């Protein structure tokens, strides 16, 4: 038996940014691999990210359940893919889509793990579209944050325009993941 990020409670209790970083990095690596082989996962969510061995390897994860995965060249308008809270704007609106839908889902996952609640809740697609139009991640989350790099990465993954959304490779190189912005901020002795 295995645990997923959802079943272990990563959704109900906010996850520390350091733990969130480890999870995002591993999932972005998986999405980068899928992109190189021309595949879309199409159902990325907390339930489809498995904790491998939380006792001995905390926060080591694997992406699972490729039942809705499809080749980028075989996408179909009107496809019933992505679980509603993770659904990208292009899927909600029935527009053409690419592997960028997986990056949207990863952004929703990251925000949800940090907040302990869905970023864009809704009981219907209409509710979600209304929420997308009226809220930005900064509006929903940042009152309590001083985590500029995390917010910047979230904004990049949650761009309404799929062409502007961060790619898996860009997420892996982002200062939140690499922690490159910390260089020079942390005093050290030689």
- CA 145 – CA 162 distance, rounded (Å): 26
Using DSSP, state whether 44 is helix, strand or coil: coil
Q: State the catalytic residue, choosing from 43, 53, 135, 149.
A: 43
- CA 135 – CA 140 distance, rounded (Å): 7
Contact indicator for 147, 138 with CB cutoff of 8 Å: no
Using DSSP, state whether 26 is helix, strand or coil: helix
CA distances for 62 relative to 4, 81, 114, 146, 154, angstroms: 9, 20, 19, 29, 21
Pairing of strands 57-63, 3-4: unpaired
Q: Is 43 a catalytic residue?
A: yes
- CA 163 – CA 116 distance, rounded (Å): 28
Terminal-to-terminal C-alpha distance of the chain:
48
Active site residues: 43
């Amino acid at each position: 038996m295995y645990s997923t990020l959802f079943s272990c409670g990563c959704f109900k209790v906010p996850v520390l940014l350091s733990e969130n970083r480890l999870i995002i990095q591993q999932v972005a690596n998986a999405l980068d691999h899928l992109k190189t082989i021309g595949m879309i996962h199409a159902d990325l969510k907390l339930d489809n990210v498995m904790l491998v061995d939380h006792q001995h390897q905390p926060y080591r994860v694997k992406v699972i359940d490729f039942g809705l995965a499809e080749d980028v060249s075989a996408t179909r308008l009107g496809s019933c893919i992505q679980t509603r809270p993770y659904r990208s704007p292009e899927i909600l609106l029935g527009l053409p889509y690419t592997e960028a839908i997986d990056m949207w889902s990863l952004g929703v996952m990251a925000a949800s793990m940090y907040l302990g609640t869905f970023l864009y809740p809704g009981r219907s697609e209409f509710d979600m579209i209304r929420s997308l139009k009226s809220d930005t991640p900064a509006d929903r989350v940042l009152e309590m944050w001083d985590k500029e790099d995390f917010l910047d990465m979230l904004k990049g993954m949650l761009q309404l325009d799929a062409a502007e959304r961060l790619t898996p490779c860009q997420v892996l190189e982002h200062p939140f993941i690499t922690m490159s912005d910390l260089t020079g901020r942390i005093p050290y002795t030689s």
